[in-house]
Structure formats: structure tokens, C-alpha cells
Amino acid sequence: MARRRRKTGLLGRLLLGLLLLLLAVPAGLFGVVWWTLPPDATELRVEGLSAPVRVTLDETGVPRIQAAGERDAAFAIGYLHARDRLFQMEMMRRGAEGRLSEIAGSAMLRLDRFSRTLGLKQAAEADFAALDAETRGLLEAYAMGVNAWIAARGRFAAPEFLALGPPEPWRPQHSLLWAKVMGLWLSGNWRTELERARLAPRLPADRLWDLWPTDRSAGRPDVAALPGVERILAALPVFGVDAPLPASASNAWAVAGWRSASGAPLLASDPHLGYGAPILWYLARIELADGRILAGATAPGTPLMIIGRNADLAWGFTTTHSDTQDVFLETPADVRRTRTETIAVRGAEPVTLTVRETANGPVISDLDETPRPDGRLLSVRMANLEPGDSSAQGFLLLNRARSIADARAAAALIASPPQNLMVADRAGGIAMYLTGRTPIRAGGDGSLPGDQPWQGFVPFDDLPHVENPPSGVLVNANNRVSPEGHPVHLSREWYGDWRFRRIHERLAAREVNGPAEFAAIQMDAVSLLARESLPFLNSLPRGTGPLGQAQALLAEWDGEMAPGLPQPLIWNAFARRMPALALRQARVPEARGSPEFLRFLLTSPEAGWWCGGDCRAMAALALAESVAELGTMFGPDPAQWRWGQAHQARFEHPLLRFVPGVNRLIGLSVPVGGDGETVQRQSPRGGGAEPFQAMHGAGLRFVADLGAPDSGFAIIGTGQSGHPLSRHWGDLLESWRAGGMLRIGREAAQVTATIRLSP
């Protein structure tokens, strides 16, 4: 009996020890990850500063930096970006250099091959060498700040580096990679050219252009079949699969002082990009010893204020969508140089890539490793990859600018990407300047692959800028910016003007505006596309059952995409299905069914070809099928459906979202209003298991009142931190959803941490 008790006691102790060991392992792992959180208070001696820098963090993690000069401020921004967002910076750097496969395996090969082919790394290095000494010095100071954090923390610099190993040092030219990536994804006309070329042999010549909005420019060259173009398109990165940024959109507007409550101009800017956790933007405020201030949104990886204000000037951006990229038809004899790229792949053998280049640019048809039957090559030339990109110098001058005249001089140096720079100054001026280099073509309009070379770039002063309009109002929401008859050809295609007109409607409804009114306009969820389509939909024959109920709901709706309503869900299901039916009827189901194409189907007398002769019948079918689909997803009663139930903005970690269970713990998601055509941009995915998920919109909203020279108002969609265990990982999400704003003034309401950096 005693022996049995001893054995039982021994077994119990073994089981207890095993249990404690099992508990100790996850507790130890959690403790190690917890150790990667940055401390609230830091005092650090570093090399590279000319004078001490003091940083205070408020209750939302927004830093206020007090520095002697620009270089010291750049050092501090680099340190803070690394402290809070180093893995985000690492992913940007690796993505631009074509090195994601090193950590993520063969799933990233398509993106890595693409980045290596374009030579983003080589372009950034060449641009850095050509920069003026002052701008290079600022980038060098920023890199020293990043490396100060890396040196102090090693592989504890961010939780992801526990698995990846210590981060590599940051080099000054790495900051230029951010602009290369943005320039690539904010101007994607070259891919549209390939898509048109793929469809051209399959559609009547006069029907091809129905799929894209047009400005009726002269020059529509016919295109014969390009063998193998489908395989080339399949080899290119796809948004939502390989790459974090979509073809994008934005809003920006400004009003003169006599239209504002403060008597000084107001400016609003909300760039629309793909959602991720953390969001692209990082809020900050900088105060220099000479009295200069900067407040607004920075981008981790760069030291400059991208959207924001100083004491005298505020600025924001929208994408111009001008055509600054062309695909060229060439032959092997046109190849001028080659280089070999070796891509390391986690868990597999390295991949060797031979990149060929012509006088126009890299050969993208080599991404498809199957030889083309006609022997032709396709190369691409992009203005954003042309040598001599002085954008970093332009942004530095913009950060220093005190007037719209200064902003104009800065805009002339921002060579990439093509953007509409909206500015307002304290003296009362408002203006919009077009940035980015626009090619002059020897022939054609660049809308399809061809062989007409570029003959330089349009002089900056010849672009259609606007200064101090008599109306006192400037608005852009990616609508057409070149007036009829303007001598400079920017593009033959433009996005619909629904957001542009809605912003004008809201501004016209009040004689004067303040920051609160501007912030409210940014949250406007009325779709003019839906509102203007309702008479057509409401004229269709009334059905029975759930279809009749859905039609009755649409009949009493005003087009507002509110999350608590069923009608936005019905509309968006219809808006997705109607173009799909038309494209399927035309036997091109893989083509893009854009909102502009939907408008064409519902309004144009020429649309009958796409609808089999009767667009009303097709619309009735599309609505019936949409209601049936929604019934299977959300139940049989349309009155119980809710837009917010299906339409949720989701922010996910770029790697951890693939780890089962972890994404549930750290993923950020909220129901939102709006859709792809509302001022509150919340573009649905459009396909897959969750077609209505919001995946693209204003991750940043910014408003500045030049009558209050010391503050700006801003909000971002996640939080300031890129650490999933930080209290600032997602603490701004609810305020962002509700339309709240943070005031980034001189003093924080509450200081939660202090960082002191000393030379």
C-alpha cells in the first residue's frame, strides 16, 4: 500500500511538472513577445544629433517632437517610426527590392519577380546619388534614427523579428523606395493597356471603349491580337492577393477665407488606399527651435510630412490618374542590356531571373516564361521610374513652403507619382497643382500597346493648374482635371464624378464652413450614382415575395449608404451583378465591370448591344438574382438585411493574417457605411466569399484651418502602433468609424510617455 501511494505521488508530481512545463512554454513565449513592446519612457544617448530632442506621446500614441532643426527632427521621426512600425517598414523595403520570398516563401514570387524586373531598387539608388546634399542629409539623419532603435533593441525591435532574426540596418536610399512603390500603384495605366489589348480582338472596335470612360480625345489605334497577353497578365501581381495597394482614389478640397468661419482658408484631404494593420499613415507633430511647426501624417519609411500643414500652408493629394505609363511592342533586336537577379525563397531553391531592357524600359513579357509565338517583346516605360526623380527634394520644399507660390515651386520638383496637390495658405490663397512627369508621345494617346516613342515630358507650367478661382472653392475627387480643349493630353479615361459633385453639393449648402463641417463631409455616405439610377430601377416591373419587398425598399430610399439600412446591400449586389451579366452576354466575363460601365448600361441608348437588345430586361434579371443571392446569405426578409452586417472594414496584419487563430485575436473590423462611389469611400471587395467587405478607403482623414496656425485635425483607421499587443494597435478604430478627429496641437491633453534623445 505504501509503495502504491509512493508511485501515485510520484505520478502526480510528474503530471504536475508536465502541466507546469506546458504552461511555462506559452507563458515564456508570451513574455518574450511582451518584451518587444517599446518602453513608455526612454532616455538614450545616440550618435547623429546636434542637440537634445524631446518627444512626448499623448494618450493615443501621437508624438510631439521638439528639436533644434530639421535633421534632428528627421532623426527623431526615424527613431519613432522604427519604434512603432519597423516591421511595416521592413515589408515595404522587401516588397520594393523583390525580397518578400525570403521570409514568405514561393507565394511571394510573383511580386518579387515583378519588382526585380522593374528595378525599383536600382532606381532608388540612382535617384539618391543624384539628390542635392541637403535632401540627402535629411534622409541620412532619418536612417540614423531608425538604426539607433535597431542597435538598441536588435531582434527585439519588433515581435516579427523574433522569428526573422535581427533587422538589417536602414540605408538612406531605402526611404526613396516608398515613393517608388506609391508611384507604381498610384498610376497603373500600363496594365489597363494590356487588358484592352487582350479584349480588343474579341469585341467590336466601337464596343471596346464602352468599358472605359473617355474624354473623346483623338487617336484610337486599332490593336491586333497579341499572342500570350493572357499569360503575361497572369504573371503580374494582383491587388488583394500579392500586393497591399489597389488602384486608388482620394478626396481633397479647399475653400477661400471668405467661405470659412475663421476667415482663413480651410483644407481637407483623405487619401484612399488598401486597408491593412497597421494603416499606412503615422500621425506626428514637430516643433523646431526657430518656431516652425509641422503637423499631420507621415509615412513610415520617410522623414517628411506627406499630408499636413505648417504654420502658413496646408496640403493634401489626390491621384490624377493621368496616363504616364506605356507598353511598347518590340523585338529581341531592341534589347540593349541584361542583368541577372537571384531571388532567395524560404523553404525552396533560389530562383534566377534574367531581366532584359530596351531603350523604353524592362521587358515585362519575360515574366511569362513561355516564348511568344510571334517573337515580339513587350516592354514598359513608366514616368515614375525615369531617372532624376527629385520628389524627395520637392516634398522637403513643400514642408517648408509658406505660400501657394512656394508650393508651386515645390510641386514642380515632385516628379512622381502624378497627383493633384491641393494647397491653402494663411494669406488666403488656395490652389491645385498637378505633380508628376507627363510624357509627350510621338503619336497616339497611349491607351493601347504601341511603338510610338516618348519625346520628353510636358513642361510643368503647361499642365492645367488652378489658382484662386473666383468661386473660392477647389475640389478634386479623381474626376477629370483637364478642361475641354486643353492642349496637354493627360488621359482618355476618367473616373466618374459622383464624389466630386457630392462634395460641391455639401459645400454649397452652407455659406461658411469650419473644421467640423469639413470632417462631416468626409463622412458623407450618399451615392449619387445610386440616387441617379433609382428612377430606372423603380420603373422596372414589380415582383412578388422577397423581390417585391426589396423593390419597395428601394422605392423609399434616397441613396444613402448607411450601415443600418438594407437598401445599400440590395443596390451593391445589383451594381455588381448587372455589369457581370452584360459582360457574360458579350462573352468577355473576365473584363472589368466598373461603376462607369454600369452607368453606361443604365443610361446610354447604345448599351443595348451589351444587354442582348434589352437593358431593362437584363436589369430586372440582375435585381432578381441579387435578391435571391442575398436571401441565401442573410435570410429571406429583405427588411432585416443590414449593410453594416455585410460591409465591414477589416484591417489585417500582412503576415499574421495567414496564421489560424492569431488573426481572430489581432484582426480589426468594424461595420461601416459608404461604398466605392461615396465621399466616405469604403470600396467593397466585389468577389470571393465576402464580396461586400470594405477593403479600400480613407485610412487617413485630415482637416486644417489656416485661421488656427498651431494645429491640424486628423484620424487614422487603426492606431499608431504596429505591435499587436500594444494598446495603440487599434485604439483609434472606433473613433475613425464614427467620424471623430484628433486635434494635433502644441499641447497634448494627456502625456503618457516621454522620450529624450541626447547626442
Tens digit of each residue's pLDDT (9 = 90 or more) over 545-600: 999 999 999 999 999 999 999 999 999 999 999 999 999 999 999 888 999 999 99
User: What DSSP string runs through 393-438?
Assistant: HHHHHHHH--SHHHHHHHHTT--SS-EEEEEEETTS-EEEEEES--
Nearest CA to 315 out of 465, 426, 179, 186 is that of 426
Report d(CA 598, CA 582) in Å as an integer: 9
Q: Do 306 and 727 meet the contact criterion of CB atoms below 8 Å apart?
A: no
Query: What is the separation, in whole angstroms, between the first and last Cα of the chain?
Result: 74
Average pLDDT over the chain, rounded to whole?
A: 91
Containing 439, the helix (H) or strand (E) segment is strand 439-441
Q: 380 pairs with which residues across the strands?
A: 327
Q: Which of 220-229, 619-628, 747-756 has the highest mean pLDDT?
A: 619-628
Decide if pLDDT at 696 tops 80: yes
179-223 residue pLDDT tens: 998 888 777 788 888 888 888 889 998 898 899 866 443 322 233
Which stretches does DSSP call E strand in 622-699? 648-651, 668-671, 682-684, 694-698
Q: What is the DSSP letter of 606?
A: G
Angle value at C-alpha 571, between 565 and 577, nearest 5 degrees: 145
Report d(CA 692, CA 160) in Å as an integer: 31
Mean pLDDT of 26-48: 82
Q: Do 714 and 732 meet the contact criterion of CB atoms below 8 Å apart?
A: no
Q: How far is CA 110 from CA 5, 261, 355, in A?
A: 64, 52, 14
Specify the length of the chain in residues: 759
Amino acid identity for residue 640 in this structure: Q
Report d(CA 717, CA 732) in Å as an integer: 6
Decide if pLDDT at 70 tops 50: yes
Decide if pLDDT at 6 tops 60: no
Mean pLDDT of 256-276: 95
Report d(CA 374, CA 650) in Å as an integer: 45
Residue 15 sits at φ, ψ, to 5 deg, of: -65, -40
Instruction: Classify domain 528-696 at the CATH class level.
Output: mainly alpha
pLDDT at position 338 is 97
Decide if pLDDT at 224 tops 50: no
Peptide bond into 417 cis (omega under 30): yes
Mean pLDDT of 668-691: 94
User: What DSSP string runs through 64-108?
Assistant: EEEESSHHHHHHHHHHHHHHHHHHHHHHHHHHHHT-THHHHGGGG
pLDDT at position 539 is 97
Q: Bin 200: left if φ > 0, else alpha if -120 < ψ < 50, else beta.
A: alpha
User: What DSSP string runs through 460-501?
Assistant: GGGS--EES-TTSEEEESS---SPTT-SS---S-----HHHH
**How many beta carbons lie within 10 A of that of residue 60, not counting itself?**
21
Q: Bin 645: left if φ > 0, else alpha if -120 < ψ < 50, else beta.
A: alpha
Q: How far is CA 300 from CA 42, 84, 721, in A?
A: 20, 9, 11
pLDDT at position 232 is 66
Q: 273 pairs with which residues across the strands?
A: 697
pLDDT at position 212 is 83
Report d(CA 728, CA 37) in Å as an integer: 11
CA dihedral 40, 44, 49, 50 (to 10 degrees): 100
Report d(CA 719, CA 742) in Å as an integer: 12
Decide if pLDDT at 5 tops 80: no
Peptide bond into 278 cis (omega under 30): yes
Confidence of residue 103 (pLDDT cuts 50, 70, 90): very high
Containing 162, the helix (H) or strand (E) segment is helix 161-164
The C-alpha R_g of the chain, in whole angstroms, comes to 27
109-128 residue pLDDT tens: 999 999 999 999 999 999 99
Tell how far CA 728 is from the center of its chain.
21
Confidence of residue 225 (pLDDT cuts 50, 70, 90): very low
Confidence of residue 251 (pLDDT cuts 50, 70, 90): very high
Containing 705, the helix (H) or strand (E) segment is strand 700-705
Question: For the chain, which residues make up each domain, given as ranges?
Answer: 528-696
User: Residue 133: is it exposed, middle or buried by C-beta count within 10 angstroms (0-12/13-18/19+)?
Assistant: exposed
Task: Tell me which of 61-65, 733-737, 744-748 is least confident.
Answer: 744-748
Report d(CA 756, CA 405) in Å as an integer: 37
pLDDT at position 217 is 33
Task: Tell me which of 33-47, 210-224, 308-322, 423-437 is least confident.
Answer: 210-224
Q: 755 pairs with which residues across the strands?
A: 42, 55
Nearest CA to 496 out of 653, 636, 578, 602 is that of 602
pLDDT at position 10 is 62
Residue 752 sits at φ, ψ, to 5 deg, of: -105, -15
Q: Do the bridges between strand 266-274 and strand 249-255 make them parallel or antiparallel, or are there none, so unpaired? A: antiparallel
Decide if pLDDT at 226 tops 90: no
Q: Do the bridges between strand 351-358 and strand 335-343 make them parallel or antiparallel, or are there none, so unpaired? A: antiparallel
Mapped onto helix, strand or coil, the DSSP state of residue 700 is strand
Which residues are within 8 A (CB) of 459 and not within 5 positions of it... i.e. 6 or more apart? none
Which residues are within 8 A (CB) of 705 and not within 5 positions of it... i.e. 6 or more apart? 260, 262, 264, 266, 514, 515, 713
Report d(CA 572, CA 673) in Å as an integer: 12
Greater confidence (507 vs 495) lies with 507
Confidence of residue 83 (pLDDT cuts 50, 70, 90): very high
**SS3 helix, strand, coil % of the chain, rounded to 5?**
40, 20, 40
Confidence of residue 13 (pLDDT cuts 50, 70, 90): low
Which residues are within 8 A (CB) of 192 and not within 5 positions of it... i.e. 6 or more apart? 212, 493
Confidence of residue 445 (pLDDT cuts 50, 70, 90): confident
Task: Look up residue 756 and give its three cell numbers.
Answer: 529624450
Nearest CA to 756 out of 41, 36, 38 is that of 41
134-180 residue pLDDT tens: 999 999 999 999 999 999 999 999 999 999 999 999 999 999 999 99
Q: Do the bridges between strand 742-744 and strand 712-716 make them parallel or antiparallel, or are there none, so unpaired? A: antiparallel
